[in-house]
Structure 1
Amino acid sequence: MAREGAALINLDLPEPTDISDIPNHPILQLIFFGNIEQEEAVLRGMPACEATRWTHLLCDIIPRGGGKHIGIQKVLDHYGFAREECMAFGDGDNDITMLRYAGIGVAMGNADAAVKAAADYVTTGTDASGIAKALRHFGML
């Protein structure tokens, strides 16, 4: 399943390694390769975490209450920008909170209906210069 999930996002899987040292390092996010039933089983053992799904075979496992919108908020706060000055692009369910948080949320044309519904604007797909087209639409290029 990991190979199939990685192929969906053009990801080369790393070679398996010894993970016994993991408890000695902070873990901020996991990319989980598995279906929804497997995700639910894993999350039962991780009560402080939640998942946001990319595809039927991939999800992010993050701290409960976290997400891409929190990362954007922290960057904006650090640099003194307002949400209204931020534009975010996304195509997966794991992008929905980010698209809703940003001043302008742009869904890629290849996104599913829930992602498009969360966005302020829908552009063309990632393989059809969607980001450039959206930036032109908003007068940024």
Structure 2
Amino acid sequence: MNIQAHLGDASLLLDNQLCFKLYAASRALIRAYKPMLDQLNLTYPQYLAMLVLWEWQVQAPEQPTVKALGERLLLDSGTLTPLLKRLEQLGFVSRQRSVRDEREVHIQLTEAGSQLREQVLPLRNELLCLHGAEEDEMVALRQNLAQLLQRFVTS
């Protein structure tokens, strides 16, 4: 007797779960990034924060704060604070309390943090090439995942 006949409903099979495929793919992708990030002395969440801060060099939000970063990364301040402290210790970011409201903490890249971007680009391209990632396939997947994320974040 096959498992589907026994369970009676294929929708409950692990391999039919979108959440499992997303979870497993995310873990595998983060694991693939690890050697690159080890060279940069960054964790994956720190790398994500740096990506946002590099974006902000081009187009900064009105208030480049920990709160704004958390909103962009969908992370709370309890997760971000130790991450940003470590980035500050590494010399990549600086944090400064607002003079107007001491609860507000502004963040910005240091010169070293800005320069780190130049090291990331070739390593990231090498990583994607090594794993056979096709650019058009990655664009389509990102768009589909963005739509899925939007559905679940706004509901």
TM over 0.5: no
State the structure with bigger RCO (CA 8 A, min sep 6), 1 or 2: 2
Mark the structure with the bigger radius of gyration.
2
TM-score w.r.t. length of structure 1: 0.29
TM-score w.r.t. length of structure 2: 0.27
- Bigger share in strand: 1
